[in-house]
Amino acid sequence: MSPSAPCPGGRSWAAHAGETLSRAGHRSGAARAVVVQMLDASACCLSAQEVVDRSRAAQHPIGVASAYRVLEQLHSLHLVRRIDLGDGLARYEALSPDGERHHHVVCVECGRVVPFEDHRLESALSAASAPPGFSLIEHDVVLRGRCAHCSRDLLLPPAQAVSPA
């Protein structure tokens, strides 16, 4: 979901999440507001630690336990999806109520994660039939490769290669 993408009725994802949490009986609090704000402003998935780091940079620090607690509340209410990119780190991203989604490409060298959309891929995946005995609920596509920065470094002699910032 793109940052601050409007939800049905023109509301932001953050407003939609706040209303859903309130209806479910969850109290509002500073940590919840910060996590929702960080997810709403992000174009892609974030780990709990990334949420904490961004909250500190924005001068609204929260703890890792608070971040995980809010992320799990959001996940239990189907407001975010948990993403596993194969590195053992859970990441979360806002789910659009209209079903809009993207997939991810991960750099195998530096770990950079970039969202991408491919409507032909999405159509093909939607048309795919599930094996007998299964009903498809969701799917994830994670592509792996080298980002432009890391690909460039592979072509340079070792003394000239620069680590990603």
- Tell me which H or E stretch contains 152: helix 148-155
Contacts of 110 (CB under 8 A, 6+ apart): 147, 149, 150, 164
The CATH homologous superfamily for domain 102-165 is: Ferric-uptake regulator, C-terminal dimerisarion domain (3.30.1490.190)
- pLDDT tens for each residue of 15-52: 999 999 999 999 889 999 999 999 999 988 999 999 99
**CATH number corresponding to 1-96:** 1.10.10.10
What CA–CA distance (Å, rounded) separates 70 from 33?
9
Contacts of 84 (CB under 8 A, 6+ apart): 90, 91, 140
Task: Write down the domain spans for the chain.
Answer: 1-96, 102-165
- pLDDT tens for each residue of 50-103: 999 999 999 999 999 999 999 999 999 999 999 888 888 899 999 987 777 788
